[in-house]
């Protein structure tokens, strides 16, 4: 497998959805008592956080790429 770049936005999204799935599983087995409306805002908030992390990562990488291109042009 070829190496690929690290994408922290996808990592955050995956972790949030795994946590939401585990909480839903615990609720369905009766080990936790969560209201039905708790999982959806948590998942949406986590996906929003993942989008923000992805945008910041993109901006940082674009800035670094522009700096490298600018320095090689001189």
pLDDT value at residue 74: 63
Task: Give per-residue pLDDT as tens, 17-70.
Answer: 999 999 989 999 999 888 878 888 999 999 999 999 999 999 999 887 777 776
Dihedral angle sign, alpha carbons of residues 33, 36, 40, 41: negative
Q: Which two tokens stand for residue 48?
A: 């929003």
Entry pTM: 0.79
The number of C-alpha atoms within 13 Å of 43 and in the hemisphere containing its C-beta is: 13
pLDDT tens digits, 40-50:
899 999 999 99
3-state secondary structure of 38: coil
Location of structure tokens 């922290």 = 8
């Amino acid at each position: 497998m070829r190496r690929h770049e690290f994408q922290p936005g996808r990592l955050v999204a995956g972790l949030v959805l795994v946590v939401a799935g585990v909480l839903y599983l615990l609720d369905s087995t009766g080990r936790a008592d969560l209201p039905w409306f708790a999982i959806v805002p948590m998942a949406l908030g986590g996906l929003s956080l993942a989008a923000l992390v992805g945008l910041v990562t993109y901006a940082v990488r674009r800035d670094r790429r522009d700096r490298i291109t600018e320095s090689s042009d001189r």
